[in-house]
Structures are given as structure tokens and as C-alpha cells.
Structure 1
Amino acid sequence: MIHLAKRVIRQTLNDKRSVMMIFVAPLLILTLVYFLLGDSDYVSTVGIEKDAMPGPLVSALEEQDLHVVELTSDDAQQAKEYLKDHQQVDAIISFSQNSGMTITMYEPSTKGSKAVREIQAAMASLNPAAKVNLSYVYGTQDQSMFDSLGYVFLALFSFFLVFIISGMALVRERSGGTLERLLMTPIKRGEVILGYTAGFGVFAVIQAILIVLYSIFVLKLSSVGNIGWVLLTMVLLAVTAVSFGAAISVFASSELQVVQMIPFTIIPQVFFSGLIPLDLIPYHLGNLSYIMPIYYGAAAIKGVMVYGDGFLQIWGYLLGLILYSFLLYLLNTQALKKFRKL
């Protein structure tokens, strides 16, 4: 038993990927979680019409951890339209003798919740019994967590599952000698990559359609925009996942090693997919989302399902997925050189 345990320990220590997954990956993920979910120095921006609000309330708001912006009467009355054009404003406060105070926000989010807490703190210092009405441009106060973040899981599940299947399958093709024998034929390296991408892409497309239709028609996930744009985004995201899995498989010699790379390749993307508002992330780490394919897919899906966007609003995200797939195609084509035996 002792000899067996020693052999397992030696084998594990000789596998650098296993060592990194056991010791490095947890520290990396915990550090990332610390930065993303720790205290943020973000200061909420609140718009008010100072002349229409009681002076003590204005003073109380300015004493809070808020950036107060003065609005005109028209902007305050058309709060929802103003927020559509000025998304840097987190909330607009309107006040009337009949309905009391109303806080209008763009959507239910962490940013909006932080603004509401500061506003309520200011109100409590004047009148602890005061009630506040909440209003949103998109979404409602009582919507479920699934309705709020369902678009993230659509993108995440599609990408993750296709990545795993394609990555493991390509490693299996290489370890079994199929890829080397294929490269000994006159077929071009680019055609090999396109063939694998097209083959796995068929299943990726079917999976994308199945996930979207099931989520919307069976699970009743709300969608304001055209489902067709959601399907197109899911298909592009799935194709990108195939290319991403192929790229990762180049650095893996077994199916286990593909799994070992998940903490470094997939999990960080989860945090930058839209679960956390990017401008709440300190040290400008939110900019890392632009190098992560899941971000582009989740942002496009959110635009369609939550905001009702069309092609003119999401084309940038779709282009990002296309460019990502193209760059991965070039990378995978070059990587096949080391497997081609001349």
C-alpha cells in the first residue's frame, strides 16, 4: 500500500498540469474572486432635479457616497428615456407630494442596488419611515434570478459543453494516430481544421437551437427581441468554442489534461460574462473581458433578450466572435505543423 501511494505521489508530481490544478488553480481562482467580489471603489451616479426636491434631502444625498448630477425638469420627467441615452447614470430620483419618492434605474443590477442603498441611507437620516418606489427601464423588481441572468447561462453552457467535447475528441484523434495519418495525405492543414470545425459545428448548431428553444418555450425565459438573433449568436459562439477547444487540445496530450485546463481557460471567463457589471470590477480588470469569447456571446444575447436589440446594436459582438474564430483558425492551422510528418 505504501509503495502504491508513493508511486501515485511521484506520478502526480511529475505531471505539471496536475500540480498546477491542485496548488495553483485554487489560488488563482480565489484571487480572481477576491478582486471581482471584494469591496469596490465604484461611486454610483444619481440624477436629480434639485429645484423640485426638498433642500434637506438634496443635502443628505450629497453627503452620501454618491455622485449627484443635476437634471433639467424635462430629463427628470422622462427618466426612462434619459437613462437609455445616459447609461453612466445609475439612478434618477423624482419626488412628488402624492406618490413620494421614485427611483428609476436602467435595469436590476448590482450598480443600481448600490445606488438605492445610498439613497435609502440619505432618506433614513431624514425620515426613517419614508417609502421608496422602484422603477426600471428594463426588467421588474420581482423578476426571478433566472430571468435576470438566464442569458449568461445560455452562453456559458453552450460554450463550455462544446469546448469539452471538441477538445477531448481532437486529443483522442491525435493520441490514436488518426490525425498524423490524415496529415500524411495531400490534404491541407487549413482543410483539416475546417473539417473538424464543420463536423463538430453541426452538433454545436443543433445544441444551440435546442438550448434556446427549450429555455424560451419550456422554461419561459423572457426574451424581448427576435429569437433569430439569439440563435445566430449561439451558433457563432458554439463555432468559436470548437476552435477554442481545438487550440487548447494542442497543449494537451490526454483527455484528462483538457479537463485540467478548465480552471485556467473557462472559469475566469465565467466571471467576465456579465454576472458582475464590468465597471464595478476594480483596477480596470473589467477590460479583460474583451479577450474572452464568452463575453461577446453573453453581451449579444443580453442585448437581444433583455433590451430588444437588433442587428445594428449587436453587430460589434457578432464581429468579435467571428474575428475570434478566425484568429483561432489561423492559430490551429499553424499548430498542426508540429504534427505533420514529412
Structure 2
Amino acid sequence: MIQLAKRVIRQTVNDKRSVMLILVAPLLILTLVYLLLGDSDYVATVGIEREAVPAPVITALEQQELTLVDLTASQVEQADDYLQQHQDVDAVLRFPENAGMAITLYEPSKKGATAMAEIQDAMADVNPSADTEVSYVYGTPDQSTFDSLGYVFLALFSFFFVFIISAMALVRERSRGTLERLMMTPIRRGEVIAGYTAGYGVFAIVQAILIVLYAIYVLQLSNAGNIGWVLLTMVLLAVTAVSFGATISIFAGTELQVVQLIPFTIIPQVFFSGLIPLDLVPYHLGNLSYIMPIYYGAAAIKGVMVYGDGFAEIWGHLAGLTAYALVLYLINTLALKKFRKL
């Protein structure tokens, strides 16, 4: 038994990926979670019409960690339109006659919750019994967490499972010598990558369609836009996942090593997929989302399903996914020549 344990220890120590997975990966992921989920110094912005708000309320609001923006009467009355055009404002506060207090928020989010908490703290010092009416431009106060974040999981599940299948399959092809024999034929390297991408892309497309239809029509995930744009985004995301898996397989010699690379390649993307408001992330780490394909897919899906956006609003995210897939295609093509020397 002792000899077997020693052999396992020696094998693990000699495997740099295993050492990184055991010792380094947890520290990196934990640090990322700390930075993303730690206390935020975000100061919410609230729009009010000063002339229509009682002076004691103004004083109480100014004592909170809030930035007050002066609005006109028409802007307050058309709070939905104003918040759509000024997303830097988190809430609009008004006091209807004989109706207590009304708070309009853009959508259920941590930013909106911060603004509402500060407003309620201020009102607790002035009129604790005041009735509060809360409304959202997008979403409802009683919507489920699944309705709020379902679009994120559509992107995550589609990307993750396709990535795993394609990366492991390509590693298996190389370890069995299939890829080497294929490269001995007149076929070009670019055609090899395109063929694998198209082959696994077919299953990725079927999976994407199945996930979207099941989530919307069976699980009743709310959708405010055209389902066709959601399907197109999912297909592009799935094709990108195939290319991403092929790129990762370059650095893996076995299926186990593909799994070992997940903490460094997939888990960080989860945090930048929309689960956490990126503008609340400290040290400008939210900008890292622009190098992660899941961000583009999740942002486009959210635009369609939550805001009802069309192509004019999401084309930038679709272009980002397309560019990502093309760059990965070029990397994979060059890798066959330079890294594997086939």
C-alpha cells in the first residue's frame, strides 16, 4: 500500500497540470470570486423632481450614499422612457398625491437593489409607514430567479457541453493516430479544422435549438423578443465553443488534461457571463469580459429575451462571436503546422 501511495504521489508531482489543478487553480478561482463578489463601493444614482419632493425627504436622501439627479416633471412621469435612455440612473423616485412613494427601476439587479435600499433607509427616518410602490421597466418584482438569469444558463450550458465534447474528441483523434493519418492525405490543414468544426457544429446546432425550445416552451422562460435571434446567437455560440475546444485540445494530450484545463478556461467565463453586473466589478476587471466568448453570447441572448432587442441592437455581440470563431479557426490551423508538426 505504501509503495502504491508513493507511486501515485510521484506521478502527480511529475504532472504539472495536476499540480496546478490541485494547488494553484483553487487559489486563482477563490481570488477571482473575492474580487467579483466582495463588498462594492458602488454609489447608486436616483433621479428626483426636487420641487415635488418634501424637504425632509431631500435632506434624508442627501445623507445616504446616493447621487441625486434633478429631473423635470415630465421625465419623472415618463420614468420608463427616461431610464431606457439614461441607464446610468438606477432609479426614479416620485411621490404621487395620496399614494405614498413610487420607485421605478430599470430591471431587477444588484444596482437597483442598492438604490432601493438607500431610499428605504432614508424614508425610515422620515416616514417609516409610507407605502412603497416598486415597478420595473423590464421584469417584475415577483419574477423568479430563473426568469432573471435563465438567459445566462442558456449560454453557459450550450458553450460548456459542446466545448467538452469537441475538445475531448479531438484529443482522442490525435492520440489514436487518426489525425496523423488524415494529415498524410492531400487534405489541407484549414480543411481539417473546417471539417471538424462543421461535423461537431451540426450536433452543436441541434443542441442549441433543443435547449432554447425546451427552456421557452416547456420551462416557460420569459422571452420578450424574436426567438429566431436567440437561436442564431446560440448557434454562433455553439460553433465558437467547437473552435474553442479545438484550441484547448492543442495544450492537452489526454481527455484528463482537458478536464484539468477547465478551471482556467471555462470557470472564469462563468463570472463574466452576466451573473454579476460587470459595472460593479472593482479594478475595471469587468473589461475582461470582452475577451470571453460567453459574454457576447449571453449579452445578445439577454438583449433579445429580456429587452426585446432585434438585430440592430445585438449585431455587435454577434459580430464579436463571429470574429472570435474566425480567430480561433486561424489559431487552430496554424497549430496543426507549428505545434503538432503533422
Superposed pair shares fold, TM > 0.5: yes
Residues 169-248 of structure 1 aligned to structure 2 (within 5 Å): 169-248=169-248
2:108 paired residue number: 108
Cα offset for 1:130?
2.0
Contact 1:152–1:273 (8 Å) recurs in 2: yes
Runs of 4+ in 1 over 4 A off after TM superposition: none
2:340 paired residue number: 339
1:244-300 CA-to-partner distances (Å, cap 9, x unmatched) read 000000000000000001101000000000001111101110000000000000000
Q: Does structure 1 residue 99 correspond to structure 2 residue 99?
A: yes
Contact 2:90–2:115 (8 Å) recurs in 1: yes
Cα offset for 1:85?
0.4
TM-score normalised by length of structure 2: 0.99
Question: How much is the aligned-residue C-alpha RMSD, in angstroms?
Answer: 0.7
1:167 paired residue number: 167
Contact 1:49–1:72 (8 Å) recurs in 2: yes
Equivalent position amino acid for 2:289 in 1: S
1:78-109 CA-to-partner distances (Å, cap 9, x unmatched) read 00000000001000001123211111011000
Residues 5-84 of structure 1 aligned to structure 2 (within 5 Å): 5-84=5-84
Identity of paired residues, percent?
Answer: 75
TM-score normalised by length of structure 1: 0.99
* Secondary structure, aligned partner of 2:225: coil
Contact 2:99–2:131 (8 Å) recurs in 1: no
* Secondary structure, aligned partner of 1:225: coil
Contact 1:147–1:222 (8 Å) recurs in 2: yes
* Secondary structure, aligned partner of 2:94: strand
* Secondary structure, aligned partner of 2:95: strand
- Runs of 5+ in structure 1 lacking a partner? none
Equivalent position amino acid for 1:112 in 2: G
Contact 2:48–2:68 (8 Å) recurs in 1: yes
Deviating more after overlay: 120-129 vs 282-291: 120-129
Contact 1:190–1:333 (8 Å) recurs in 2: yes
* Secondary structure, aligned partner of 1:261: helix
Cα offset for 1:339?
2.6
* Secondary structure, aligned partner of 1:89: coil
Cα offset for 1:28?
0.6
* Secondary structure, aligned partner of 1:47: strand
Equivalent position amino acid for 2:197 in 1: T
- Runs of 5+ in structure 2 lacking a partner? none
Contact 1:108–1:140 (8 Å) recurs in 2: yes
2:268 paired residue number: 268
Contact 2:243–2:325 (8 Å) recurs in 1: yes
Contact 1:180–1:339 (8 Å) recurs in 2: no
Contact 1:184–1:340 (8 Å) recurs in 2: no
Equivalent position amino acid for 2:142 in 1: D
* Secondary structure, aligned partner of 1:96: coil
Distance 2:96 2:223 in 1: 34
Corresponding pairs, count: 341
2:330 paired residue number: 330
Distance 2:12 2:126 in 1: 63
Distance 1:83 1:124 in 2: 25
* Secondary structure, aligned partner of 1:186: coil
